[in-house]
Structure 1
Amino acid sequence: MSIPLLIALSLIIFVFLLAQRRRKSTASRKLRHPPGPPGLPFFGNVLQYDPSNLHLRLAKLSDKYGPLMSMTLVGKPMIIISSARVAKEALKHNDLAFSSRPSFICSRKLTYNNSGIAFSPYTEYWREMRKMAVLRLFTLKQVNSFRPAREEEVARMVKEISRRADAHQPVNINETAMSLSSSMICRFALGEEVR
């Protein structure tokens, strides 16, 4: 191994260890998180997940770390609750602490700093927007005004399923339901059919 490569490798390892030590010292000054499995820098615990058996993996982890544990996903801390008693305590008695949404960069950029009803945090502003939406948008009159469009889209879906059944072709229900819901949303939002 050449000397410059050895020096560069030593420097990288030194900087990494220094960053780890600094991170641990600043983390100890912050709020304490519940126990949880250690994760990798930046990635956290994301590489430890198996999406097909996630519930089994979380059950094993809760046996080891308890009903309340913390994990990190790409730098974002998460709290995992795996007990009905702890969930009731968190969601019923501390509901205001858990009622808001996380803030993401993409949602802030797309919705003018989370000013829309879907992404804004749980505040007085959000409650007013929700009240306005319920009073103006989700009234029986407004919902009934979209009835012909809903009936037309459902009839189109049933016709497509019937056509495929007559041709002995398989029907992907997930794809069909997704197509129905997206075409309805586009039709309601844009006022015209989108194909």
Structure 2
Amino acid sequence: MVGLQELTVPLFSFIFFVIFLYKWRSGAASTPRKKLPPSPTKLPIIGNLHQLGTSPHRSLQSLSNRYGHLLLLHFGSVPVLIASSAEAAREIMKNQDLIFSNRPKLSIPDRLIYGSRDVAFSPYGEYWRKVRSISVLQLLSNKRVQSCRRVREEETSAMVEKIKQLGSSSTVVNLSVVLMSLTKDVVCRVALGRKYGDHGEDKKFKNILVEFEELLGATSLGDYIPWLGWIDRVNGLDARIEKIAKQFDAFFEVVLQEHKDAKKRDDDIGGDGELDFVDILLQFQKENEAGSTLLTMIQSKQSSCSTLEWAIADLIKNPRTMKILQNEVREVVGMKEDIGEDDLEKMSYLKAVMKESLRLHSPVPLLLPRESTQDTKIVGYDIAAGTQVMINAWAIGRDPSLWENPEKFRPERFLDSSIDFRGIHFELIPFGLLVGGVARYCVCDGR
């Protein structure tokens, strides 16, 4: 009897264990396993952050070549889907755009751009739709773009004269500085109503803008490993962000007050002054909302300048291509002193040169991260809600399955091609998906 009692507890324990094991295996078998995208081995805490390197778009292209054009990484605790094919980009940006329309909350743009209240960084929702509508219909409509033609032509002519003067004095011409000045002056005149950065205290504006662009392209470790957020305080990143945010606040207070005073003068005398972006935004938005939208518009000068620099560099390295382009310009312009925008429409080879340069040197190689709002599938793989998504536009532009000799600068590939960079053809998306001229992208230099 005693022996039976001693066996009872182990026997019942064994029976319960067998039942539990059976139930667990039955449940696991009945739940279909999710098919996740391929993923390289990750390290504890940091995940795959160590594999990004100093040029993330290049590092991610190498990983995609090894693991596939759709791969799953982990930046700290955050799952991040990397898309490096036109097929995946089309699925994310077009076929399932609503699911991937949200933006993850990033601490740096959140602090620099008034709580991410601009068209590029704001989360999907009613506010973003309002800002996009104002941008598309009021700021970047075809009518508005054409109305700024005089500004573009005046500043371009001024740049040409400046280069002539510098060249005649045997001074080395720094084209990077000249192009930076051109894009800045055009954007400032169109957006703010006048130039900034030429003399006196206005020089501060240029320094503020350079610092702002550098910070907007930086990454806060705390976004991916929250308990390491204190590092931003130690390395000085927090202090830099706070300083530049205060400087932009002060700058925009002056800009907004200038426009209010000018409007009052126009109202008093019954004038009908020409409207710039600030005037238009003040009609629709509160002051901080106007400031956030203006920051996006002003910052866009960097991508314009980068695009021009790379195109000129490509032409210098390819004298045959430059000769063909020069001949086209001479044929179209003839004996005219100046080149107008109407002339540009007749230059098919020039357009091909710009497309080819954008293909090789996307000004925004990694498009601004999206975030999935629900579970879904992309090209057969299961993607969980809350996954960040990055599209490597730089890698797509160099995909050998899409482009013959992708590393070679050959504008002729576009002469008989309908491919454009406005977001319709996903083989070429250097600015992301353009919606009425508005692109939601990240800030990066596409080398």
TM-score of the superposed pair, with normalisation by structure 1:
0.62
Q: 1:145 to 1:169 in 2, by over 3 A?
A: same
Question: Equivalent residue for 2:73?
Answer: 71
Aligned residue among 175, 179, 182 for 2:181: 179
State the AA in 1 paired with 2:87: R
After TM superposition, list the pairs within 5 Å mapping 1:1-195 onto structure 2. 34-40=37-43, 43-51=46-54, 54-55=57-58, 57-73=59-75, 77-139=79-141, 142-194=144-196, 195=198
Deviates more, 1:154-163 or 1:40-49: 40-49
Deviates more, 1:152-161 or 1:31-40: 31-40
Q: CA deviation at 1:180?
A: 1.3
- Please give the alpha-carbon distance, in whole angstroms, between the structure 1 residues aligned to 2:75 and 2:171: 41
- Please give the alpha-carbon distance, in whole angstroms, between the structure 2 residues aligned to 1:135 and 1:67: 36
Q: CA deviation at 1:120?
A: 1.6
CA RMSD of aligned residues (A): 3.4
Q: CA deviation at 1:50?
A: 5.0
Q: CA deviation at 1:82?
A: 2.9
* Secondary structure of 1:184 counterpart: helix
In the TM superposition, what whole-angstrom CA distance separates every residue of 1:10-34 from its partner, at most 9, and x where no partner exists? xxxxxxxxxxxxxxxxxxxxx9963
* Secondary structure of 2:194 counterpart: coil
Larger Rg: 2
State the AA in 2 paired with 1:48: Q
- Please give the alpha-carbon distance, in whole angstroms, between the structure 1 residues aligned to 2:179 and 2:76: 32
* Secondary structure of 1:69 counterpart: strand
State the AA in 1 paired with 2:95: H
- Please give the alpha-carbon distance, in whole angstroms, between the structure 2 residues aligned to 1:136 and 1:54: 34
Q: 1:78 to 1:182 in 2, by over 3 A?
A: farther
Q: CA deviation at 1:59?
A: 4.5
* Secondary structure of 1:178 counterpart: helix
Which structure 1 segments of 5+ residues have no match?
A: 1-30
In the TM superposition, what whole-angstrom CA distance separates every residue of 1:103-144 from its partner, at most 9, and x where no partner exists? 211222233322233322232332232223333333455445
Q: CA deviation at 1:69?
A: 0.8
Q: CA deviation at 1:162?
A: 1.7
Q: CA deviation at 1:191?
A: 2.2
Q: 1:112 to 1:97 in 2, by over 3 A?
A: same
- Please give the alpha-carbon distance, in whole angstroms, between the structure 2 residues aligned to 1:53 and 1:79: 14
Question: Which structure ranks higher in relative contact order (CA pairs < 8 Å, sequence separation ≥ 6)?
Answer: 2
- Please give the alpha-carbon distance, in whole angstroms, between the structure 2 residues aligned to 1:184 and 1:123: 32
Q: Percent identity?
A: 40
Q: 1:49 to 1:107 in 2, by over 3 A?
A: closer
Q: 1:140 to 1:43 in 2, by over 3 A?
A: same
State the AA in 1 paired with 2:38: P
- Please give the alpha-carbon distance, in whole angstroms, between the structure 2 residues aligned to 1:77 and 1:172: 43
* Secondary structure of 2:98 counterpart: helix
Q: 1:101 to 1:182 in 2, by over 3 A?
A: farther
